[in-house]
A and B are shown apart, each in its own frame.
Chain A
Amino acid sequence: MTGDQMKETAARIVETALSEGAGTAEVDVAENNRFGVTVRNGNIENLIESGSSRIGISVSVDGRKSSATSSDLSEESIKRMIREAVELAAFMDRDEYFGLPDPEELGSAGIDLGIHDEETCSATADRKIGLAMELEKMACALDGRIISDGASLSSGSYSSAFANSIGFCDWYSQTWNSLEISCAAADRPARGPNTGKKQSSYWFSTSCRFSGLEPIESIASKAVERTIGKLGAVKPKTCEVPVIFDETAARRFFGSISSAVNGGNIYRRASFLADRLGEKISSPLVTLVDDPLIQGAPGSRPFDAEGVRTRKTTVVENGILKTWLLDSYQARKLSMRTTGSAGGISNFYMKPGDSSLEEMIAGVDEGLLLTELSGPGANWSNGDFSQGGQGIWISGGKLAYPVNEFTIAGSFLQMLSGISAVADRFEWKGPLSSPAFRIDRMTISGT
């Protein structure tokens, strides 16, 4: 469907919902087109190409709310879906905080965000397959020990029209591209029964624009370096040392923080930050921003999932917790105003500092460069943190040897307060990105 057709459809379904007895209605019509290829050892291993559509309807009857989604866009199915939603609403309790957003909040940012790229749609399958083939070939050529776990290119477009019963109706479209390679290499454990031990890693690039992807030479060399760099990894001693989170580990850490500042988790009291608005929660080096209006960034959008105009929000400024990320329901629950964050974070990042990664490493006598975190042990509800890790040991200010099979633990508040350096750059890797940073002291559990 064209944008206008999608808008018309959304507006028409709103009308139908009102005529079927809904007091308020919100309708989202979405279309996805997706292409994906994975090549391994020079052959295509997976090729996927498809399009799909979906509509979502939320209705309320006398403050009672229900929703329905369906992949069937036929008139008859939509009518049935609306009737069922209205019927379901009757079984819900009345929620005095429920309502559509304030009309003056509704609207579109009104600027071209540069998130739709024609080339992503027009580039041929052969060109995309060729890029993945080249990437794999290049990685394997860099080091004979590399076992390819596949190079993939996925790309696609997403368009969404949103309409509600107080007059909002708009549409946007965005494209995405992701290029990735995963590698493994045989390792030899010093002892023990794990004679088949290998090491693996990956690197990827993502962009709204097909031409915005990182050059394949750079993706290949980072993936190979991260894989080969893990060979011979040992388990470190149990100790307390400074830890540098590289960008990959930093993204995972701030992913938890983005959940802890989500308005839903605040009113549910399921966040360690719940009572700390206006307080110093972190080292002054930390400024966290959610900005949906960055040109060409992966999470940019002109309006949020309930039609509220998007805007930049500074969540933490120089260590002070300034606000939550809120949709209009959460805002009402907390007596605040929406931040245009319905649907989740947009481009959430930590503002770069003024150290280079090399300087941060040089400043550590004995410590750890953390390159991967694993497991569900980051508990942003109570503030506890204990996760599995992999990385490179730092000795005398230099990268010394790889380490694995250890955990790092502490509490989020201690960790945030202990951030003593922030790197001066980062790359966009999806809606959540962060520069590397250093925490002065954490517990490492190993041998």
Chain B
Amino acid sequence: MSGFSGDFGVPEEDFRRVISAALSRGASWGELYFEHSVDNRITMEEGIVKEGIKSISMGVGIRAVKGEGTGYAYTEDLSIGKMMQAARTAAAIADSGPGSGPAAIRESRCEDHYPVTSATTEEPLGNKVAWIGEAGEAARLSDPAITKVTVTLADSIRDIQIVTSDGRLLRDRRPMTSFSVSVVAERNGNRQIGVSSGGGRMGPEYFTEIKTPRRHGMEAARQALLLLEAIDAPAGPMELILAPAESGILLHESVGHPLEADFIRKKTSAYTDRLGDLVASELVTVIDDGTVRFDRGAINFDDEGTISSSNVLIEKGVLKAYMHDRISADFFGVPPTGNGRRESYKHPPLPRMTVTYLANGDSDPEEILKSTKKGIYCKSFRGGQVDISNGDFVFVPIEAYMVENGRITAPVKNLSLIGNGPDVLSRVTAVGNDFTFSDGRWTCGKGQQVPVGVGLPTIRISEITVGGSEMR
């Protein structure tokens, strides 16, 4: 049980007093971010269910904003005295006369993009242990070369309540299920790791509707066994084909981060002052959408109370918009886009992605492959990193193959791909019609960790630097 009713037990009168205190030195915006979270994790290792962990945290983050300045304080004690003290600490960001707090507070409602009937957190422990066991067994029985199997089921419920200085109160209950199988395969001193993970803002139906524990187990084993056969990747510039779904990590790194508007406001991003410019091939349309149903990156409203929406960032190659929180939106005089997110009540919000994807094209994926003479084909990824200022990004495949004369051939290992955002996106020469969202396994780190989603159809990039170790 989550053991939490969704009500923080703070009377409306206290909301108004605390917000007024946050605005008492002239801040133009303030909000109270109440959060109660329950996180569970059960891990199986070496065939036994080894440890269960349950974490509960509750607190309120109080923010006062003036211009580009943020004052922030939090407390785990929701008594009026402690909240007033935190509000006065946050208020100190401004230094003029008192601003006015809200006269009344009204509850705002919005569409629910993750209407689960029951959360995994409320599932009987016996069921959870059974799913973990099924996955572990499927992985172990796949092949004698599988020497170790680790299965983790993590689930959480986050109850959020935001009270804003413009008099709105919003409530949300954010469920999450995450499942992961990691295996070690060993043969003649060669050791490889295979991983299969997924989930979303879903309840236990994830395991029946999206992917069963058994399939995760088999998939992790298949990947590790494949990597035992892989050859070392070549070094140098090559053509690249990205398979659907997980490859969306390319977008997340290459243009996602540099279009977060805090970097634009500070003029440190390579995409600063480039609205209206052609920044990618005309085949490229990029969208950030917090409303993708049941997706790991979905949010009904962001962590400063802006209702989620779908935002076109790049349309047919032309840069249309940045991703804003309230501060950057105010700075540029545009409406906030619902991208103000935070890790927890201990953190002030920042512009962050939700579900970032490349829109479907019209090429036949088979044709894209057939028409590629020599290159690399990537199916799954470990993750990536970007340098916001120069646009250079790295992303690291797990499952990748050589492409020779239009056919997928040998699996390759040990490679990073490095490219420059604007360069690489202008080299997209084909976009497939097989768009798919990635299974929910991505967490983005920008000082704070938040869950995100990605998606992509098959695409081809005419040249990217493949960073293997083999000089050919």
Contacts of B348 in A (CB 8 A): 46, 48
Interface status of A274 (Cβ within 8 A of chain B): yes
A45 to B266, CA, bound (A): 11
Known: A194-B423, A200-B388, A240-B471. A382 touches B53 (CB 8 A): no
CB distance from B400 to the nearest CB of A (A): 11
Interface status of B410 (Cβ within 8 A of chain A): no
Known: A48-B348, A445-B235. A388 touches B184 (CB 8 A): no
Query: In the complex, which of the residues B48, B89, B279, B415 contacts A409, with contact meaning CB atoms closer than 8 Å?
Result: B415
Contacts of B48 in A (CB 8 A): 92-95
Interface status of B23 (Cβ within 8 A of chain A): no
Which of A343-351, A400-408, A416-424 interfaces with chain B?
A400-408
- Residue ID in chain A nearest B470 by CB atoms: A443
Q: CB within 8 Å of A: which of B268-316?
A: 268-274, 277-279
CB distance from B445 to the nearest CB of A (A): 11
- Residue ID in chain B nearest A383 by CB atoms: B191
A84 to B39, CA, bound (A): 13
Query: In the complex, which of the residues A51, A194, A376, A411 contacts B391, with contact meaning CB atoms closer than 8 Å?
Result: A194
Let me know if B73 and A49 touch, CB within 8 A: yes
* A-B contact number at CB 8 A: 286
Let me know if B89 and A386 touch, CB within 8 A: no
Contacts of B90 in A (CB 8 A): 47
Interface status of B250 (Cβ within 8 A of chain A): no
Let me know if B268 and A149 touch, CB within 8 A: yes
Contacts of A444 in B (CB 8 A): 235
Q: CB within 8 Å of B: which of A58-99?
A: 65-72, 77, 80-81, 84-85, 88-89, 91-95
Which of A106-114, A265-273, A302-310 interfaces with chain B?
A265-273
Query: In the complex, which of the residues A70, A149, A272 contacts B266, with contact meaning CB atoms closer than 8 Å?
Result: A149
- Residue ID in chain B nearest A381 by CB atoms: B193
A268 to B48, CA, bound (A): 13
Interface status of A335 (Cβ within 8 A of chain B): no
Let me know if B385 and A147 touch, CB within 8 A: no
> Chain B contact residues (Cβ within 8 angstroms of A): what range?
35 or more
Known: A193-B279, A385-B414. A270 touches B193 (CB 8 A): yes
Q: CB within 8 Å of B: which of A363-389?
A: 374-377, 379, 381-388
Interface status of B99 (Cβ within 8 A of chain A): no
Interface status of B74 (Cβ within 8 A of chain A): yes
Query: In the complex, which of the residues B86, B92, B236 contacts A50, with contact meaning CB atoms closer than 8 Å?
Result: B86
Let me know if A43 and B68 touch, CB within 8 A: yes
- Residue ID in chain B nearest A57 by CB atoms: B54
Let me know if B193 and A375 touch, CB within 8 A: no
Contact with A along B410-438 (1 / 0, CB 8 A): 00011110111111001000000000000
CB distance from B382 to the nearest CB of A (A): 5
Question: Which of the listed residues B42, B50, B59, B235 has the most CB atoms from chain A within 10 Å of its own CB?
Answer: B235
Contacts of A240 in B (CB 8 A): 471
Contacts of A192 in B (CB 8 A): 420, 422-423, 426
Query: In the complex, which of the residues A95, A381, A388 contacts B418, with contact meaning CB atoms closer than 8 Å?
Result: A388
Interface status of B401 (Cβ within 8 A of chain A): no
Contacts of A408 in B (CB 8 A): 467
Question: Which of the listed residues B67, B277, B396 has the most CB atoms from chain A within 10 Å of its own CB?
Answer: B396
Interface status of A410 (Cβ within 8 A of chain B): yes
Contacts of A95 in B (CB 8 A): 48, 50
Interface status of B148 (Cβ within 8 A of chain A): yes
Contact with B along A172-190 (1 / 0, CB 8 A): 0000000000001001000
Let me know if A92 and B387 touch, CB within 8 A: no
Interface status of A145 (Cβ within 8 A of chain B): no
CB distance from B367 to the nearest CB of A (A): 26
Contacts of B150 in A (CB 8 A): 268
Known: A149-B268, A407-B418. A443 touches B235 (CB 8 A): yes
Let me know if B394 and A377 touch, CB within 8 A: yes
Let me know if A272 and B392 touch, CB within 8 A: no
- Residue ID in chain B nearest A227 by CB atoms: B389
- 4 nearest A-B pairs in the assembled complex, by CB-CB distance: A407-B467, A375-B394, A388-B394, A200-B389
Residues of chain A at the chain B interface (Cβ within 8 Å): 40, 43-54, 65-72, 77, 80-81, 84-85, 88-89, 91-95, 147, 149-150, 184, 187, 192-200, 230, 233, 235, 238-240, 268-270, 272, 274, 374-377, 379, 381-388, 390, 404-411, 443-447
Q: List 15 A-B contacts (CB under 8 A).
A: A44-B93, A46-B72, A52-B59, A53-B76, A65-B51, A65-B52, A81-B54, A92-B49, A95-B50, A382-B191, A404-B390, A406-B467, A409-B468, A445-B418, A445-B467
